[in-house]
Structure formats: structure tokens, C-alpha cells
Amino acid sequence: MPAGAGIALWNAGKRGLPALSVALLDATERNITFAAIWTNTQKTMEEPLLNAHNKQEYPPMHTAEHILNRAMDNAFGCGRAVSAHVERKKSKLDFALPKPPAEEELLRVEEEVNRVIRQGLPVTMEYATQAEAAKEFDLGRLPEGAADRVRIVRVGNYDACLCIGAHVANTAEIGTFRIASHDYKDGILRIRFKLEGGKENAFPHGGKA
């Protein structure tokens, strides 16, 4: 745009975002480019502001957590984990169960998780208001004061949940899932698990948000 040639206005109010007006005056001298401003505006409109996340997960492990949660709920009807500690090397999930599962049952869960991983399912994201999400999900676990706009993460047609963490783009990137150990006490089954293989060097600083 020639210096002082005009004014460009964008109004994102219809998308629930603050109106953004940008005046491009003497753009050459100010070193402002239309492309840079438009790119920033597009990103703001396409990626709603969500609640900040408190840590950076290792995407393969975090995505495996999603699959394990679904596999456990399918096998035992226990719902998703009541607590989770997810790290790069080894993670653990706690599930509320009325009795300890048999060793064979947990082996089947491990096999089910690996079956899903091998399918190479796409991991996709979409956004919805809390009112829209409530039609499909229990919003009881959202933190107090959560933003009205939430993110839904889907692992193919196998699992879907509300999540703001980092994930792989495809389950084939996860590697092999292994249950390292487990114990049961006072109605809680704790499963410790790890990953083998996968694209270890592909996620030095996290992955797909």
C-alpha cells in the first residue's frame, strides 16, 4: 500500500471478540505490512482465547492419556480418570473402580490402546461455547471462572473430550503404549504407563496445541 494511501478496518465483534481497528497510515515509513496485520487478525479470529494452561505436556503421552481414558471407560464403565499425572517418561492415571480388575482385563486394555494407536487416527480440534459443549460433555470438571469458549479434542471417532493441552496430529505418532505397573487401594486403581518408540525427537518443545 503506498504511503498514506488509506485506512483498513477489521471488526471481529460478530465473532465475540473485541472490535479491532487498524489504521494503515504511511505504512512504508512505519514498517507495517498488510500481510503481517492480516495474519495476526486471522489467528485471533480462528483461535479463541482459552484459559491458560499450567504446563507443557509431551504430546504423544498426553494423547495416549486420552485413548487410555476411553479404553478404561469402555471396559469398566468407570468414566475418565479422577486424577492424572502426565510426564514424558512415565505417567499415571487414577480410576475409581468398585473392585480391582484382573490382570487379563488390564492386558486387554493395553491391547485396545495399541489397537487404536496403530489405526493412525487423526487428532482434531474444534471450538464451542459451554452451552453447546454441554450437549455432549460433562462440564463439571471445568475450572471455576473458565472461559465460555472451550476446545474439543477428538481422536478419530474413538474419543472426544474438552482439553487445552498439546496433542499429536495422528495417533501413529504416539509409539507403543505399555502399562508399567498398577495397584489398587480404597476403590482407586492407579495405572502407571509409558511409551516406547514413536517420534521421540519430533516434539522437543511440545506439539500440536
Q: Are residues 67 and 132 in the same domain?
A: yes
Q: Which residue has the higher pLDDT, 183 or 3?
A: 183
- pLDDT beyond 60 at 14: no
Residue 207 lies in a domain: no
Q: Which residue has the higher pLDDT, 83 or 201?
A: 83
Residue 2 lies in a domain: no
* CB neighbourhood size of 144 (10 A): 4
Q: Are residues 78 and 16 in the same domain?
A: no
Q: Which residue has the higher pLDDT, 200 or 146?
A: 146
pLDDT at 200: 56
pLDDT at 143: 81
Q: Are residues 96 and 154 in the same domain?
A: yes
- Overall average pLDDT of the 55-84 stretch: 94
Residue 166 lies in a domain: yes
Q: Are residues 192 and 94 in the same domain?
A: yes
Structural domain count of the chain = 2
- Overall average pLDDT of the 133-159 stretch: 91
> Is 37 in contact with 82 (CB distance < 8 Å)?
no
**Strand ranges in 3-158 using DSSP code E only, listed in sequence order:** 8-10, 20-22, 83-85, 91-96, 123-129, 149-155
Quickly state the pLDDT bin for 142 (edges 50, 70, 90).
confident
pLDDT at 199: 64
- The Cα-based distances of 151 to 47, 135, 162, 185 in angstroms read 10, 14, 6, 34
- Reported as a single tens digit per residue, the pLDDT across 149-190 is 999 999 999 999 999 899 999 999 999 999 999 999 999 999
DSSP per residue, 45-82: HHS---PPPSS---HHHHHHHHHHHHHHHHHH---S-S
Contacts (Cβ under 8 Å, ≥6 apart) of 152: 125, 126, 127, 128, 133, 136, 137, 160, 161, 162, 163
Contacts (Cβ under 8 Å, ≥6 apart) of 135: none
Residue 164 lies in a domain: yes
pLDDT at 15: 39
Instruction: For residue 87, give the C-alpha cell.
Output: 510426564
- pLDDT beyond 90 at 124: yes
Residue 208 lies in a domain: no
Q: What is the mean pLDDT of the chain?
A: 78
pLDDT at 13: 37
Residue 163 lies in a domain: yes
Helix (H, G, I), strand (E, B) or coil at 131: helix
pLDDT at 145: 83
Distance (Å, rounded) from C-alpha 128 to C-alpha 162? 10
- pLDDT beyond 80 at 1: no
- Overall average pLDDT of the 2-20 stretch: 37
Q: Are residues 12 and 70 in the same domain?
A: no
Instruction: For residue 78, give the C-alpha cell.
Output: 468407570
Closest CA to 69 of 59, 82, 58, 53: 82
- pLDDT beyond 70 at 48: no
Q: Give the CA angle between residues 56, 163, 12 to the nearest 5°.
A: 100
> Is 147 in contact with 128 (CB distance < 8 Å)?
no
Q: Are residues 21 and 69 in the same domain?
A: no
Distance (Å, rounded) from C-alpha 199 to C-alpha 112? 21
Q: Are residues 86 and 35 in the same domain?
A: no
- Overall average pLDDT of the 24-44 stretch: 33
Distance (Å, rounded) from C-alpha 160 to C-alpha 70? 9
Query: What is the span of the domain harbouring residue 135?
Result: 59-202
Q: Are residues 157 and 95 in the same domain?
A: yes
Residue 106 lies in a domain: yes
- pLDDT beyond 80 at 46: no
Residue 209 lies in a domain: no
